[in-house]
């Protein structure tokens, strides 16, 4: 029997969006949507649900989903791109087995709020879905898989990437088993996830006005060089942020630092990269005066985001090649 599944990115609150099944992770701790739903269900935020475990519950009155599924995954420091892919595949298999009447399944994007490359996270999740479609571990009732994203900008970026990856407009209709060309565009069901060490670490201020600079000036340039684009947002991070920062910089192919506004944390990260012998690429807005420490270093200045993207792309291409 032929089957088509629609994959769609929806800009909404996962708690309010009506759906048959909402699948969330338990990464041995709780934050974001995972924590909010646990509170609505009266669950312990640090409940015992080891990696590989699963929990299926009826949705509480304050949640629009009829069923809620928690999947146990490794703790966040070890929950990378390959684990995101496995999570999505497990989610589809579990719903297909335990909730076969579900016509619609909702997921959230994982990893981007923890500093991983949001597009690589999305690709990993798509690849996991295609794994399940290819293996046939879904029910014949399934019609739609939704990625619920509350942030308007991120939802728009994910939709744009979905259009580029799977040529189907703002949503994608996937046949089961999926077309080989579509599978290849998201990495192939038999290939490994992108190696997590092939990344650029981005050091920059985390003020709202820098969001477009990161997503449209820096990230596209980094990805064009064949690297993942990662950073640590202090507002969303839990745990030992200094240890995480050091580990990410040590394992980075290079560091890109925006020295605009002379943020002390950014200068700290640059100093650590120098000490760790990690190549650095420095950028700054042309109206920012550089501190004495870096005045002798090459630093790309920019007046617009487009100028930053063009200059940084050329610089990284020369370095990586």
Strand partners, 172: 7
Q: How far apart are CA 226 and CA 247, in angstroms?
A: 21
Q: Which helix (H) or strand (E) holds 200?
A: strand 199-203
Please check whether the domain covering 199-320 is classified as CATH 3.40.50.720: no
CATH 3.40.220.10 in the chain, residue ranges: 3-185
253, 227 in Cβ contact below 8 A? yes
| CATH code for the part of the protein at 3-185 | 3.40.220.10
Q: What is the pTM of this model?
A: 0.86
Residues 6 or more apart whose Cβ sits within 8 Å of residue 263? 204, 205
Whats the size of the chain, residue-wise? Answer: 321
Residues 6 or more apart whose Cβ sits within 8 Å of residue 27? 34, 73, 74, 75, 76, 79
List the chain pLDDT tens, one digit each, 321 residues.
567 888 999 999 999 999 999 999 998 877 788 888 988 888 888 888 899 999 999 998 888 999 999 999 998 888 889 899 999 999 999 999 999 999 999 999 998 877 889 999 999 999 899 888 888 888 889 999 999 999 999 999 999 888 888 765 556 777 666 666 666 666 543 344 444 558 899 999 888 888 999 999 999 999 999 899 998 875 455 556 788 888 889 989 999 999 998 888 899 999 999 999 999 999 999 888 877 777 778 889 999 999 999 999 999 988 876
DSSP assignments along 175-196, one per residue: EESPPHHHHHHTT-TTSPPPPT
CATH 3.40.50.450 in the chain, residue ranges: 199-320
Pairing of strands 299-302, 171-176: unpaired
């Amino acid at each position: 029997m032929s089957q088509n599944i629609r994959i769609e990115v929806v800009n909404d609150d996962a708690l309010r969006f009506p759906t048959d099944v909402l699948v969330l992770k338990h990464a041995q701790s709780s934050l974001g949507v995972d924590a909010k739903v646990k509170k609505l269900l009266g669950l312990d935020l640090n409940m015992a649900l080891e990696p590989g475990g699963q929990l299926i519950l009826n949705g509480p009155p304050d949640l629009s989903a009829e069923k809620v599924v928690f999947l146990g995954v490794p703790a966040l420091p070890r929950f990378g791109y390959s684990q995101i892919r496995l999570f999505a595949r497990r989610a589809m298999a579990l719903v297909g087995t335990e909730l076969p009447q579900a016509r619609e399944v909702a997921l959230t994007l994982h990893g981007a709020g923890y500093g991983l490359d949001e597009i690589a996270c999305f690709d990993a999740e798509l690849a996991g879905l295609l794994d399940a479609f290819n293996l046939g571990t879904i029910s014949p009732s399934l019609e739609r898989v939704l990625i619920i994203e509350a942030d308007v900008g991120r939802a728009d970026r994910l939709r744009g990437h979905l259009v580029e990856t799977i040529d189907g407009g703002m949503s994608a209709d996937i046949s089961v088993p999926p077309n080989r060309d579509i599978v290849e565009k998201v990495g192939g069901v038999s290939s490994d996830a992108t190696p997590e060490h092939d990344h650029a670490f981005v050091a920059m201020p985390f003020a709202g006005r820098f969001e477009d600079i990161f997503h449209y000036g820096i990230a596209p340039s980094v990805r064009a060089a064949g690297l993942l684009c990662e950073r640590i947002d202090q507002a969303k991070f839990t745990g030992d942020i200094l240890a995480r920062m050091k580990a990410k910089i040590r394992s980075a192919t290079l560091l890109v630092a925006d020295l605009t506004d002379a943020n002390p944390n950014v200068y700290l990260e640059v100093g650590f990269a120098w000490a760790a012998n990690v190549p650095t690429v420095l950028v700054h807005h042309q109206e920012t005066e550089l501190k004495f420490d870096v005045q002798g270093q090459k630093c790309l200045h920019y007046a617009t985001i487009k100028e930053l993207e063009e200059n940084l792309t050329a610089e990284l291409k020369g370095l990586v090649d």
